[in-house]
A and B are shown apart, each in its own frame.
Chain A
Amino acid sequence: MSAGNDGINKVIDNNSAWAEKVKSENPEFFTELAKGQTPEFLWIGCADSRVVPNFATGTKPGDVFCHRNVGNLVHHTDPNCMSALEYSVLHLKVKHVIVCGHSSCGAVNAALTLPQKSSGIVNAWINNIREVRNTFAAELKKLEGPAKLQFLVEANAIRQAFNVCTAPAIQSAWASGQEVYVHALIFDLATGKLKRLAGPISSLKQAAEAEASQTSSMVAKISKDLGDVLSFEATM
């Protein structure tokens, strides 16, 4: 069964070469790694093969706890993402949660182009991006092609970052005085550069006031939603 083995054998060979190289440069590297993890960051990014968090951020094994899914989505009804958030924030006590979107995201593009009637799970999964799309219907109408996609890519990244802010794990952390900051970034495939969209945010109030450079119009809109949450919670 050569075809099935070719790919995996290559992976195993690469792995062997990497492990040997690291060990020769630093004999204690892996044995130290095995003792435990204290990452500074949680990265919530897209599963897209081109957006490799450790490459893009120049980080090493042990630095970044990482959850990747189709479209870098964060919803409170998703135990998969919520587990990653809860574990990294409340147990590992990461200092920063980064939500990273990227240009030409297939999931975001699908939210603009895939018919609602399409079969399959991805179609249902991206519904959260359709909601962001609908929130910005007026803005999107004024844009064409690549500009439309880029706008929604950024709006989605910011929205998901705010979903992190309102998630139980983060709310609980902030309520107990834990120092943890939330950020939204975007990765530009064409240049390899990361750009900041929002953050650092360390309170719901700040989330409502967050600067976001050229996406300030988006943040203002999302801030209104958060303002609504704040008002309601104030009455509880």
Chain B
Amino acid sequence: MARPTEGIEKLLANNNDWASTISAHDPNFFPELAKGQAPEFLWIGCADSRVVPNFATGTKPGDVFCHRNVGNIVMHTDMNCMSALEYSVLHLKVKHVIVCGHYGCGAVNASLTLPQKSDGVVNCWIAHIRDVRNSYAQELKKLDGPAKLPFMCEANAVRQAFNVCTAPAIQSAWASGQEVFVHAVIFDLATGKLKRLAGPISSLKQAAEAQAGHVQHMSDKISKDLGDVLSFEAGM
């Protein structure tokens, strides 16, 4: 069966080269890795093949605990993402949670263009991005066609970062005095550059006051939502 195995054979050959080269330079590299992990970062990014976190951040195996899904969505009702957040924050005690969106995101584009009646699971999954879209209906109306998508890619990344801030794992970490910072960044496919959108955030109050560069108006809007959460919790 030559054809079906071709792709895999290539990967395995690459793997052999990579592992051998590293072991030759540093025989302890993998044995040390096998002892455990103490990553500094949790990366929550898009599954898009072009956004490779370790390449884009210049990090090594062991540096970045990584959850990737379609549209870098963070929802408290999603056990998949919440497990990654809980494990990395409360057990591994990562210091930074980075939510990374990217321009030209297919999932974000789908929230702008895919009809509500479409078949399939992806259509349901991106409902979370449609929620963000609806929050910014006014702003989006003022933007021309091509400008809508980058705006939404940024708005989505910032919103998902704030969903991290309100998630039980982070709330619990902050309440117990654990040092963990939340950030929103965006990856520009056309340049390979990462841009900061929001953060470092280490309290709900800060989330409400967060600077966000040229997405200040977005952050203000989301800050209002967080202010609402704060007020409600204060009354509990």
**Is B one of A's binding partners?**
yes
A residues apposed to B, CB below 8 Å: 1, 3-5, 7-8, 11-12, 14-19, 22-23, 29-31, 33-34, 37, 39-41, 47-52, 54-59, 61-70, 73, 78-84, 86-88, 90-91, 95-96, 98, 103-104, 106-107, 120-122, 124-126, 168-169, 181, 183, 188-194, 196, 199-200, 202
Q: B49 and A39: CB pair below 8 A?
A: yes
B16 interface residue per 8 A CB criterion: yes
CB–CB A196/B66 < 8 A? no
Collect the chain B residues with CB atoms within 8 Å of residue A124's CB.
79
Q: Given the complex of chains A and B, what is the CA–CA distance between A30 and B95 in angstroms?
A: 30
Q: Are A7 and B40 neighbours in the complex by a CB distance under 8 Å?
A: yes
Residue of B nearest to A4 (CB): B200
Once the chains are docked, how many angstroms separate the CA of A63 from the CA of B48?
10
Flag if A12 contacts B18 (CB, 8 Å): no
- B11, B183, B188: the one contacting A194 at CB < 8 Å is B11
Residues of chain A contacted by B179 (CB below 8 angstroms): 3
Of A14, A87, A98, the residue contacting B70 (CB under 8 A) is: A87
Add 19 more A-B contacts to A62-B50, A121-B169, A122-B83 (CB < 8 A).
Answer: A3-B95, A4-B202, A7-B96, A14-B58, A49-B61, A49-B63, A50-B37, A55-B61, A59-B14, A61-B50, A61-B52, A65-B49, A70-B83, A70-B87, A87-B107, A106-B91, A124-B79, A192-B18, A202-B4
Q: Contacting A80 at CB < 8 Å: which of B11, B125, B183, B201?
A: B125
Q: Are B189 and A58 in contact (CB under 8 A)?
A: no
For B63, give the chain A residue with the smallest CB separation: A49
Contact of B192 among A22, A82, A169 (CB under 8 A): A22
Binding-face segment, B116-124, B133-141, B151-159, B220-228? B116-124
Assuming the A-B contacts A15-B193, A120-B86, are A181 and B54 also in contact, with contact meaning beta carbons closer than 8 angstroms in the complex? no
